[in-house]
Amino acid sequence: MQDNFGRTIDYLRISVTDRCNFRCTYCMPEHQTFLPRTDILDYTEIALIASRFIKHGIRKIRLTGGEPLVRRDIDVLIRELGRHVQSGTLDELTLTTNGTRLSQYATVLASNGVERINVSLDSLDPSTFAEITRGGDLQQVLQGIADARSAGLKVRINMVALKDVNSHEVPAMAEYCAANGHDLAFIETMPLGDGVSGRTEQFIALEDFIAPLRQSNDFIPISHRTAGPARYFQVEPMGLRIGLITPMTHNFCGDCNRLRLGSDGKVHMCLGSEFHVDFKDAIRAGGLDAVDRLLQKALRLKPERHDFERQLEDRDLRLHRHMNATGG
């Protein structure tokens, strides 16, 4: 599949729920309203839409949320999508999680074609972690990560850069990941959602965020790529692979290969745009032919780039949709 700008689209992110057992300050307000269960796609509908996307050229799928592992019977969908990996029609099935349910699901993931996962972890200090997540238990997450590794899953830690909140923890997070064999990705915060705290005050460019690491390490660019937008470096002498995700300071839209299927059935062509195509009514009323037609419409509507830079500076331009509604 190609969009109007010649970009090959081969990566689908599927948000299976907008619900989460955390309330991270940069993701959603403390008191969030979630979709009624009747408004979200059921597993059969997700699997059917995914199968059509795969038929048209999607090679990698990532399950997201909210927190994907809080949705009841999520193992049903994991097994269904895992069959595409086992048959060779899908190259990769991955997951982004906050880690709280990994102890329960690590074996299920590993036995159904999932080889690697991303875990959101913004602090190794229990009190700071609880503050960012509004009550999360750091030890539960660390145990989940350890259990994932024991099950054979490769882990990448995702750390959102928050000025004056976790900036001082960069060396400690790097040492933790190096010692445990995890990759580490740093992510710039983005201006998404009403009622989300500190968008301007907490933003920090990644080059400033990682400055303490550069003082004592060499960052060697490497060709390693995943399906996402991270630019990877080998950090020596730490022996750590680091990815930088810089939507604000180092735009990567020219290489965008992604579509996002929300739990409500809306396909978002860009994280930073309100453009979407609603697949829920199509699959419920028109079946697979309607899905195929809308997929071609989605490709035509995919914008050339996001507008996060202006949205950060001008509150009136910011999207009302919260990160948990789209899946990142």
177 annotated to a ligand binding site: no
20 annotated to a ligand binding site: yes
Angstrom distance (rounded) from CA 124 to CA 86: 36
253 annotated to a ligand binding site: yes
Please give the structure tokens belonging to residue 203: 């933003």
27 annotated to a ligand binding site: yes
66 annotated to a ligand binding site: yes
259 annotated to a ligand binding site: yes
Interior angle at CA 123, CA 92 and CA 125, nearest 5: 140
24 annotated to a ligand binding site: yes
Angstrom distance (rounded) from CA 107 to CA 152: 8
Look up residue 282 and give its DSSP letter: I
13 annotated to a ligand binding site: yes
How far CA 145 is from CA of 27, 40, 105, 116, 152, in Å, comes to 21, 29, 11, 11, 11
Strands 11-15 and 258-261: parallel
**The amino acid at 75:** D
Please give the structure tokens belonging to residue 292: 């195929």
Angstrom distance (rounded) from CA 211 to CA 70: 36
315 annotated to a ligand binding site: no
258 annotated to a ligand binding site: yes
256 annotated to a ligand binding site: yes
Residue among 304, 196, 321, 186 nearest 262 (CA): 321
270 annotated to a ligand binding site: yes
> Residue ranges for the binding site?
13, 20, 24, 26-27, 62, 66, 96, 120, 190, 253, 256, 258-260, 270
> Residue ranges for the binding site for [4Fe-4S] cluster?
20, 24, 27, 253, 256, 270
> Residue ranges for the binding site for S-adenosyl-L-methionine?
26, 66, 120, 190
> Residue ranges for the binding site for GTP?
13, 62, 96, 258-260
